[in-house]
Structure 1
């Protein structure tokens, strides 16, 4: 199974935990949607309904932050509900928004915004509204802010950046001689320099230099393709891809596996386990895995840190990633008090996102937090905080983005590359064939 951020936990545990906190035992059903929030109702509080897909460790942090918000805003009744990660959540969101009966605010992947038909299923947000709540355009990295627009209107408020990063075992890397005097990983430039680093680490571990999820090869592919400034664009039933740059990215994967610098087969669990038990001195996975490795360190000892992806091409440290972001599902009518309270909630989450980054590993998108002295002193988070500027979103097309089909379809092909079961040339041909098959399908939203 691909290693996604906020992997789905057991549905019953996710719902029961949220139900206990919100008093909405029917949270998993459509009955929660209602007909729109009301200011007042059975109490003097303004009710704000929030939907999210955060069923992993980061979901626990969000629950904690929701409790803090409610304590500081006794006049707002926040009802937060977690649905199944990926397709179950997006299906529920589209169904609710299409009838105007979704939540007041929802947490989505920013890469999925345009696939949700925002002009018809989401309500735009004005910058003046955000300004009124202490949030401004300059508070976000340009690429993240621009991704929040569709058709010239603002539809999303970015909460974080989560991306593919490099974890490293300090003990192993020190023995391999690949640490700086301050204990950070040597920064390499170019493919061969990084391969040399992996070879030195492999000599220490006796097995691999780095571990990675061979089922989630889209992440590495997109990082190394974009570092070459490769573009993938879609429109009018056609698409453009740079074959040479795509082939170069795939060849890196093949070479890494062929030389034994990474596993030829490892799902998400095995990928992380290779790092935990010392079979690999490094691991390329998302920053959301920080809590897993912290727990392992506390239980058995694992002196690790994290840094951004290495630069393979053109001095870029671009990496595949995404953002969690808030959107306002379409309402038939908005109660003024509810909308104000909803935006107050979003602003609170941004202003207090130090806790989000500290506990969940995601890098806050709100730059006043990320660039603060407090956050820059937070380790290992500060070491990879540059992903806010370097994150590369998946291409704009309805079947792309987190929990979408492009990730899985391309990943299935690249898994065979890591397994050395297909050549890079054949893999590229298969990837293009799968993209063309997806292009022939109608968008389920449109």
Structure 2
């Protein structure tokens, strides 16, 4: 039997390993917070990416939405995090302040990902101190839905099927009161009277009224700069829908179901509901921007972005693969728009393929004036402070003046911790 010298055996083994490594794909772990329809659309995009080339394979494990950010922060801090992950724009400053995110500008330039191709205010939301810490894939703003059959019965549609409404504070209320009078057994406006959605409406009207930023200055130690008078004025307007005009019934058990089953004529919520309504048999609806009732164009919104978490044992080759994947996902914005979201890349929104999608093009322009949350490490905590305090106004347990004063005090205490 021929026995090879030991050094030749080692050389042959190394050569074999090298060939194996050269032929191996770069594997990326991709974490998302999506569920339901959103998840299935993203799974399709990932599958399409994996089938489009032979160099990179993206794995997408299931992560529970309820504790997604906790798991993300913990895993990245322990150097066991994903290579690429979804994060809301509002969450990026907090992740960055903890040292958990990687700027991607250098990799983007090498790959050919151009930040100028994205809607300006969305990409600006990922820019911290001159560096981009995320690539936006969408915006998901707060908009308005109309049940066309009920609106026609109420006499608030013209011959072309457009709503008849003067876009002023009084005009919006008159529009809803006309529905209330014409269809007394229906809900003119379906919205919860606690939690996220009435807060989002308040946010939209606050910035439509020209409200100043909630915070200013340093990302980690900001000053509270909310405009008290405008905050009270916006709260009074939203509160009047529940109490003074009794347009919104109190304590709706499920305002989504109210709209879906034809009990509500209009509804306000995020664009993610579009995918639900268009798969609801017999529901003829229109999706519209939230009316701009005051001086400025604005609505509440956030953005899903792709971020590159810090990872000690990564390589530049792997980081470039991450950004190639990011670029691919943003180019597939039409596929992602099936979930109802507005794609972040301008060329996608302008494409005929997107324009041909039902409903989405009707509210796509909203992306240009979404009032994104302030860049602050206190984004999530601030949202809870807003909702807890404003709920007292919607339920008429406290005056709006007291609610806003307590809100401001709570925000100031929050950022001083």
Q: Does 2:228 match 1:243?
A: yes
Q: Measure how far apart 1:373 and its partner are.
A: 2.0
> Paired residue for 1:158, among 121, 131, 136?
136
Corresponding residue number in structure 1 for 2:386: 410
User: C-alpha separation between the residues in 1 aligned to 2:409 and 2:250?
Assistant: 24
Q: Does 2:210 match 1:233?
A: no
User: C-alpha separation between the residues in 2 aligned to 1:241 and 1:322?
Assistant: 19
Q: Measure how far apart 1:64 and its partner are.
A: 1.6
Q: Is the 8 A contact 1:168 1:283 kept in 2?
A: yes
> Paired residue for 2:163, among 177, 185, 191?
185
Render the CA deviation track for 1:54-74: whole Å, top value 9, x for unaligned.
123211111121112112224
> Paired residue for 1:285, among 269, 273, 279?
269
Counterparts in 2 of 1:416 and 1:286: CA distance versus 1, 3 Å: same
Paired residues for 1:38-117 under 5 Å: 44-85=24-65, 88-117=67-96
Corresponding residue number in structure 1 for 2:3: none
Render the CA deviation track for 1:192-223: whole Å, top value 9, x for unaligned.
01111111222343243111122222211111
Counterparts in 2 of 1:333 and 1:182: CA distance versus 1, 3 Å: farther
Q: Measure how far apart 1:184 and its partner are.
A: 3.3
Counterparts in 2 of 1:189 and 1:274: CA distance versus 1, 3 Å: same
User: C-alpha separation between the residues in 1 aligned to 2:111 and 2:265?
Assistant: 45
- Find the residue that maps to 1:252 and give its secondary structure: helix
> Paired residue for 1:121, among 100, 107, 121?
100
> Paired residue for 1:139, among 86, 93, 117?
117
User: C-alpha separation between the residues in 2 aligned to 1:335 and 1:118?
Assistant: 23
Count residues with an aligned counterpart.
391
Corresponding residue number in structure 2 for 1:395: 374
Counterparts in 2 of 1:288 and 1:173: CA distance versus 1, 3 Å: same
- Find the residue that maps to 1:107 and give its secondary structure: strand
Q: Measure how far apart 1:133 and its partner are.
A: 4.0
> Paired residue for 2:285, among 304, 312, 320?
304
Q: Is the 8 A contact 2:94 2:377 kept in 1?
A: yes
Corresponding residue number in structure 1 for 2:239: 254
User: C-alpha separation between the residues in 2 aligned to 1:408 and 1:221?
Assistant: 14
> Paired residue for 2:344, among 348, 361, 365?
365
Corresponding residue number in structure 1 for 2:7: none
Q: Is the 8 A contact 2:136 2:305 kept in 1?
A: yes
Corresponding residue number in structure 1 for 2:11: none
Runs of 5+ consecutive residues of structure 1 not aligned to the other structure: 1-38, 442-446
Corresponding residue number in structure 2 for 1:208: 187
Corresponding residue number in structure 2 for 1:172: 150
Render the CA deviation track for 1:255-294: whole Å, top value 9, x for unaligned.
1111111132236xx1112212333211001111122222
Corresponding residue number in structure 1 for 2:327: 347
Range with greater deviation from structure 2 (256-265 or 336-345): 336-345
> Paired residue for 1:219, among 178, 186, 200?
200
Q: Measure how far apart 1:234 and its partner are.
A: 4.5
Runs of 5+ consecutive residues of structure 2 not aligned to the other structure: 1-18
User: C-alpha separation between the residues in 2 aligned to 1:40 and 1:253?
Assistant: 63
Q: Measure how far apart 1:386 and its partner are.
A: 1.2
User: C-alpha separation between the residues in 2 aligned to 1:290 and 1:58?
Assistant: 12
> Paired residue for 1:432, among 389, 404, 408?
408
Q: Is the 8 A contact 1:199 1:209 kept in 2?
A: yes
Larger Rg: 2
Q: Is the 8 A contact 1:317 1:390 kept in 2?
A: yes
TM-score normalised by length of structure 2: 0.87
Q: Is the 8 A contact 1:211 1:275 kept in 2?
A: yes
Corresponding residue number in structure 1 for 2:249: 263
Corresponding residue number in structure 2 for 1:14: none
Counterparts in 2 of 1:279 and 1:426: CA distance versus 1, 3 Å: farther
Q: Is the 8 A contact 1:188 1:311 kept in 2?
A: no
Q: Measure how far apart 1:43 and its partner are.
A: 6.6
Render the CA deviation track for 1:386-443: whole Å, top value 9, x for unaligned.
121021112233232xxx23223322232232223332222212322332342343xx
Counterparts in 2 of 1:118 and 1:406: CA distance versus 1, 3 Å: closer
Range with greater deviation from structure 2 (343-352 or 258-267): 258-267
Q: Is the 8 A contact 1:65 1:349 kept in 2?
A: yes
Counterparts in 2 of 1:339 and 1:420: CA distance versus 1, 3 Å: same
Counterparts in 2 of 1:62 and 1:183: CA distance versus 1, 3 Å: same
Render the CA deviation track for 1:279-330: whole Å, top value 9, x for unaligned.
32110011111222223x22xx11112011101111x331111000011111
Q: Measure how far apart 1:40 and its partner are.
A: 7.0
